[in-house]
Amino acid sequence: MLTGKKKRSYRWFQPGEGVLSRLFDVVNVILMLLLTVIMLYPFVYVTAASLSQPAMLASGAVSWWPKGFTTLAYQRVAEDPFIWLSYWNTIKYTLLQTLFGLLVHNSLNSRSHLRY
């Protein structure tokens, strides 16, 4: 059926666009990829450091991938009884505050106290 509308192209570069628009798209994608790498690198480094042997970490050998794979850091954290108490407190306070927030929201949400 002909509606007179231009058929939409799903390519990243539309044929009617100019060179500057295409250049902007390319530069924008490159900058966004660079920004993504800059933001993700600390998470990758901390994960690699937590899974590496302490001697390798102290020598500076760890960058993107763990050296001397070990889960010793996670074992020490799991053995600490205070971490489990902290998890329990976090879960407890989150549930209680969520329930309190729902109760307050529902009590203030009724329109019976509004006069027209």
Residue 9, in any domain of the structure: no
pLDDT digits (tens, 9 = 90+) for 83-103: 999 999 999 999 999 999 999
Q: How confident is the model at residue 13 (pLDDT cuts 50, 70, 90)?
A: low
Domain holding 100, by residue range, is 72-109
Element (H, E) at 109: helix 81-109
Q: Do residue 50 and residue 78 come from a single domain?
A: no
Look at the pTM and tell me if it is higher than 0.95.
no
Q: Which residues contact 89 (CB under 8 A, 6 or more apart)?
A: none
Q: Do residue 76 and residue 93 come from a single domain?
A: yes
Q: Do residue 65 and residue 76 come from a single domain?
A: no
pLDDT digits (tens, 9 = 90+) for 47-65: 999 999 988 888 988 888 8
Of residues 108 and 66, more confidence is placed in 66
Q: How confident is the model at residue 10 (pLDDT cuts 50, 70, 90)?
A: low
DSSP label at residue 64: S
CB distance 70 to 53 below 8 Å:
yes
Give 6: exposed, middle or buried? Use CB within 10 Å, 0-12, 13-18, 19+.
Answer: exposed
